[in-house]
């Protein structure tokens, strides 16, 4: 190998490292009771990746999501997200850090007495966007999730799939670099599940790094993305274009 090739290779490695948006090194997390929820986890995710996190109930998936958004702190190891060392970040900096992250949950968590528009606008008001910006951004993100025509509806007037799309719009309206989804299709039928996953894929194609916790075996196998499998708090496999690994 000549020197220029070696140099190019070194450069590529350095660039890859700079591209890292999430990094966990020997991360363990113990709650006050029971066995540790995560044990010596090493996980590195580059900007723009789409990653499924799978594993049985109790394997530590939600704990991982909560650590990534700094809702919980690790017991040992190192966790970095967008360059923030989450064990050292000052409390007053946490809101600014969280602006980089959008999150959706299985149970949607919409404001029941507010309409679709207000549910999404709320996220913009928290970060003090002007009314002018809100009037521009909210309809535009509602169009992305296919709900432009339903902006006046209340959550109870929507199907589960539609409610999850509102939650997705709310998570995306502040243009986060990372989208975390903890079992986003857990309450949806197969057709709506697939639609939500396609939306997540589209959001990823537009540059957002996406992590999806799911039990949806068919979708994971069909989508051919990176799949990280947790078992009792340990990463037991991490595969590009992976599939859902069955127990036993
Ligand atoms: P998953 O999302 O994969 O179902 P969790 O991350 O919710 O798993 O839980 C991992 C383990 O940590 C489980 O054994 C669970 O009982 C435990 N656990 C989760 N939350 C708490 C908590 N707040 N206090 C004590 N143990 C917890
Ligand atoms: Mg969970």
Helix, strand, coil abundance in the chain, percent, nearest 5: 40, 25, 35
* DSSP 8-state code for residue 35: S
**What's the average model confidence in pLDDT over 191-201?**
96
Model pLDDT for residues 88-106, shown as the tens digit of each residue: 999 999 999 999 999 999 9
Give per-residue pLDDT as tens, 116-136.
Answer: 999 999 999 999 999 999 999
User: Cα–Cα–Cα angle for 49, 162, 160, nearest 5°?
Assistant: 100
Surface-to-core class of residue 40, CB atoms within 10 Å of its CB (0-12 exposed, 13-18 middle, 19+ buried): middle
pLDDT, residue 83, reads 96
Tokens of 119: 């549910």
CA of 62 to the centre of ligand 2 (A): 4
CA atoms 43, 33, 75, 179: torsion sign: positive
Q: How confident is the model at residue 247 (pLDDT cuts 50, 70, 90)?
A: low
pLDDT for position 242: 86
Looking at residue 245, what is its pLDDT? 78
How much distance in Å is there from the Cα of 213 to the middle of ligand 2?
8
Instruction: Provide the residues around ligand 2 (an ion) whose CB is within 5 A.
Output: 61-62
Closest atom of ligand 1 to CA, residue 183: 2
**Which residues lie with the beta carbon below 6 Å from any ligand 1 atom?**
31, 33-34, 37, 55, 57-63
- Specify the pTM: 0.92
Mean of the pLDDT values across residues 203-230? 96
As a whole number, the mean pLDDT across the chain is 93
Beta partners for residue 226, in sequence order = 51
- For atom 5 of ligand 1, the residue with the nearest CA is 60
* CB neighbours of residue 144 within 10 Å: 17
The bound ligand whose nearest atom lies closest to the alpha carbon of 183 is 2
pLDDT > 60? residue 16: no
| pLDDT at 6 (0 to 100) | 54
What are 66-84's pLDDT values in tens digits? 999 999 999 999 999 999 9
* pLDDT over threshold 60, residue 7: no
Measure the CA–CA gap between 8 and 206, rounded to whole angstroms. 28
């Amino acid at each position: 190998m000549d020197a220029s090739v070696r140099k190019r290779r070194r450069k590529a490695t350095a660039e890859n490292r700079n591209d890292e948006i999430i990094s966990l090194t020997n991360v363990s997390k113990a709650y006050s009771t029971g066995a540790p929820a995560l044990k010596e986890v090493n996980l590195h995710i580059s900007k723009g990746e789409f990653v499924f996190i799978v594993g049985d109930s109790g394997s530590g998936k939600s704990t991982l999501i909560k650590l990534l958004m700094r809702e919980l702190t690790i017991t040992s190891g190192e966790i970095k997200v967008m360059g923030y060392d989450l064990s050292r970040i000052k409390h007053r900096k946490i809101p600014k850090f969280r602006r980089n992250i959008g999150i959706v949950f299985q149970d949607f968590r919409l404001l029941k007495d507010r309409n679709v528009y207000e549910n999404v606008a709320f996220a913009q008001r928290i970060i003090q966007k002007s009314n002018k910006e809100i009037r521009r951004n909210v309809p535009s993100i509602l169009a992305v999730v296919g709900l432009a025509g339903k902006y006046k509806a209340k959550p109870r007037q929507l199907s589960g799939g539609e409610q999850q799309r509102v939650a997705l719009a709310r998570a995306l309206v502040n243009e986060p670099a990372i989208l975390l989804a903890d079992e986003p299709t857990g309450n949806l039928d197969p057709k709506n599940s697939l639609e939500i996953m396609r939306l997540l894929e589209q959001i990823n194609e537009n540059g957002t790094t996406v992590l999806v916790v799911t039990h949806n075996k068919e979708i994971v196998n069909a989508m051919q993305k990176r799949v990280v499998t947790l078992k009792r708090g340990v990463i037991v496999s991490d595969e590009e274009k992976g599939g859902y690994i069955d127990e036993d």
